[in-house]
């Protein structure tokens, strides 16, 4: 799993910082998460192939998470895209995009599928043989969802030496990888644990975009490997966070701690501060494994 942060600052794009957008590479699928202004440029700067993005997840209809979407959709067409594109986001996103296409007399060279969300409960919105994506209902000024991306557990790893030791025919190897036992010609059953190793652990990534401190998310994101949680403000602006339905770095850390995640990535910093180091310091007073998100930062986990 690889996460690339294209932008992680609040509100307005600036010379050196960008509003929210991320790319998650998970089991060979490339998911774009939020699409603030400048996302296309950031994709190019980070050498991410446009053609590999087939799914876009939008958390909510605020400009700093959305205003890059129509441009991105349009560019995909100019590049001659023919592959289907799926967009997941709050109800209204379809109307918003189609109106812009209509008034600009534009169209797409590919099929555009909208998956509009309105549930207040967590729901599965994408699933294939390797990945599952669920919504994380958040509390913000407009209807907002975070997204939980989970890998499905892979096959068990064949213990070739053990299989050869028992003279097991290769025709049984897939059965072993699937977790099955093997019966030898003399009737002896060899338990799967003797013939295989545990699969690589399935990883999960929870993205919580804009939200006030909300413990309701904890059961959904519990034990996630990585949690990105917005931390718009420092503790000195805690009342403002409450008022504008955003979080402080400490609140993000409290959620990380209570949900028992392995790492916390901070972002969505208000541009009122001179630097972002202080966000990490404040969060670390509560939770130890804090990563200071920043534009262009990419890491594998």
Binding interface with Zn ion (CB under 5 A): 62, 64, 210
Cβ closest to Zn ion, residue 64 vs residue 251: 64
Q: Is 268 labelled as part of a ligand binding site?
A: yes
CB of 19: closest distance to Zn ion in angstroms?
7
Q: Is 65 annotated as a binding residue?
A: yes
What is the radius of gyration, based on Cα positions, of the chain? 22
Find how far residue 163's CA is from the centre of its chain.
Answer: 38
Nearer to Zn ion, 18 or 122 (CB): 18
- CB nearer to Zn ion: pick between 7 and 133: 7
Least distance in angstroms from the C-beta of 64 to Zn ion: 4
Q: Are 249 and 263 in contact (CB under 8 A)?
A: no
* Dist. CA 235–CA 75, nearest whole Å: 40
Nearer to Zn ion, 64 or 295 (CB): 64
Q: Which two tokens stand for residue 94?
A: 């379809």
Report helix angle 69-78 to 93-103, nearest 10: 50
Query: Shortest Cβ distance from residue 18 to Zn ion (Å)?
Result: 12
Distance, in Å, from the CA atom of 172 to the CA atom of 285, rounded to the nearest integer, reads 53
Sheet bearing 124-127, strands edge to edge? 124-127, 131-138, 144-151, 204-208, 226-230, 263-267, 290-292
**Is 165 annotated among the ligand-binding residues?**
no
Contacts of 201 by beta carbon, 8 Å cutoff, 6+ apart: 153
| Contact indicator for 242, 225 with CB cutoff of 8 Å | no
CB contact at 8 A, 153 and 202: yes
DSSP 178: T
Question: Is 263 assigned to a binding site?
Answer: no
Q: Is 115 annotated as a binding residue?
A: no
For the bound state, the minimum distance from the C-beta of residue 175 to Zn ion, rounded and expressed in Å, comes to: 50
- Which one is catalytic: 64, 128, 216, 274? 64
Pick the closer one to Zn ion by CB: 64 or 151: 64
Which residue, 39 or 150, is less far from Zn ion as judged by CB? 39
> For this structure, is 216 an active site residue?
no
39: left (phi over 0), alpha (psi -120 to 50) or beta: alpha
Q: Using an 8 Å Cβ cutoff, are 285 and 279 in contact?
A: no
DSSP designation for 269: B
Shortest CB 209 distance to Zn ion, Å = 7
DSSP character at residue 169: -
- Shortest Å, Cβ 141 to Zn ion: 6
- Write out the catalytic residue numbers: 64
Annotated binding site for Zn(2+): 60, 62, 64-65, 140, 210, 268
Annotated binding site: 60, 62, 64-65, 140, 210, 268
């Amino acid at each position: 799993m690889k996460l690339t942060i294209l932008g992680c600052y609040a509100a307005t794009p600036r010379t050196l910082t960008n509003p929210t957008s991320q790319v998650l590479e998970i089991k060979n699928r490339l998911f774009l998460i939020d699409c603030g202004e400048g996302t296309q440029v950031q994709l190019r700067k980070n050498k991410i192939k446009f053609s590999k993005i087939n799914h876009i997840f939008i958390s909510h209809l605020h400009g700093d998470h959305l205003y890059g979407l129509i441009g991105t959709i349009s560019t995909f067409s100019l590049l001659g895209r023919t592959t289907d594109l799926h967009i997941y986001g709050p109800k209204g996103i379809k109307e918003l995009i189609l109106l812009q296409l209509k008034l600009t007399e534009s169209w797409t060279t590919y099929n555009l599928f909208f998956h509009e969300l309105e549930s207040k409960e967590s729901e599965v919105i994408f699933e294939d043989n390797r990945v599952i994506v669920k919504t994380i209902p958040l509390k913000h000024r407009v209807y907002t969802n975070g997204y939980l991306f989970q890998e499905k557990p892979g096959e068990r790893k064949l213990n070739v030496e053990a299989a050869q030791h028992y003279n097991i025919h290769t025709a049984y190897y897939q059965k072993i990888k699937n977790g099955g036992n093997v019966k030898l010609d003399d009737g002896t059953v060899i338990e799967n644990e003797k013939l295989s190793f545990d699969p690589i652990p399935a990883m999960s990534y929870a993205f919580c975009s804009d939200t006030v401190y909300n413990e309701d998310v904890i059961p959904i994101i519990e034990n996630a490997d990585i949690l990105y949680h917005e931390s718009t403000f420092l503790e000195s602006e805690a009342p403002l966070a409450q008022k504008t339905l955003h979080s402080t770095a400490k609140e993000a850390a409290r959620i990380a701690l209570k949900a028992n995640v392995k790492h916390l990535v901070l972002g969505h910093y208000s541009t009122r501060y001179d630097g972002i180091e202080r966000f990490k310091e404040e969060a670390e007073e509560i939770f130890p494994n804090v990563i200071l998100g920043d534009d262009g930062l990419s890491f594998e986990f």
